[in-house]
Amino acid sequence: MTPKYANVSEREQEPPSLAISTVIFALRPDPETGRLSLWLPLVRRIRQPYRELWALPGGPLRPSESLQDAAARNLQDTTGLSPRYLEQLYAFGGPDRSPTPRVVSIVYWALVQPDEAALARQDENVDWFRADAVGTLAFDHNRIIDYALWRLRNKMEYGSIAYAFLGATFTLAQVREVYEAVLGRELDPANFRRQLQATQDIERTDSFLQGGRHRPPRLYRYTGPELQSDAFPPA
């Protein structure tokens, strides 16, 4: 790494620049155990600083592009994904987060359903990692992922964000699998089922999961508040 700026005070004279990054969470089966776990795609940096390290997908803001549009475009450009759930997460802008003059990153996060995740590009410079095993990333991207995981777990405990990972209908066991993957621990099926049925956020449908099973499980649908709770409301 060859810093362009000799010292901190020289670096501080430059006005901060702006970047957009995205944390993309998807549930994928673990290749070893087959259990669902939380994964995210990272891109390999091909430039300094932090050349060769993995980083969150992102890039600059183009003229005449909104922040949300820039996030969606960067995401599409780097991974081929166009997630339905894409929301602003947080702005990171500490003075020491990059060896260059300060970069303020507006970070978006996307929650991706399995059918969407299957469309992601994968090559030598884009790969998926388990969220709890990303190694050392460029910049403060480990910290950003920690923050995103913390927000996701918070929202799971006090909100309905789990349903963003699921399709229009789902079984109660599928909801439990989402919780288990995100929280990283097993939950008691009977207790979980009882708690879930007590909430107002889902309702039974008259359909059952298709398949060869003897007693196919019932499908439910989400009826609670808008999932992208922090997004600007439609005008």
Given the rule CB under 8 A, which residues bind its own copies? Answer: 8, 12-13, 15-18, 61, 63-67, 88, 90-95, 102, 104, 106, 147, 150-151, 154, 157-159, 225, 229-230, 232-233
Q: How far is the CB of 46 from its own copies (least distance, A)?
A: 22
Provide the token pair at 131.
């969220």
DSSP label at 41? E
Nearer to its own copies, 12 or 127 (CB): 12
Strand partners, 90: 107
Six token digits for residue 109: 């996060």
Radius of gyration of the chain (CA): 20
DSSP classification of residue 17: E
Rounded to a whole number of angstroms, the minimum distance from the CB of residue 211 to its own copies is 35
Between 91 and 119, whose beta carbon lies closer to its own copies?
91
Q: Which residue spans within 76-116 are E strands per DSSP? A: 85-92, 103-112
Q: How far is the CB of 147 from its own copies (least distance, A)?
A: 6
Q: Which CB, 126 or 156, lies closer to its own copies?
A: 156
Between residues 117 and 141, which has the closer beta carbon with respect to its own copies?
141
Give the bridge partners for 222, in sequence order: 202
Helix or strand (DSSP H, E) at 182: helix 172-183
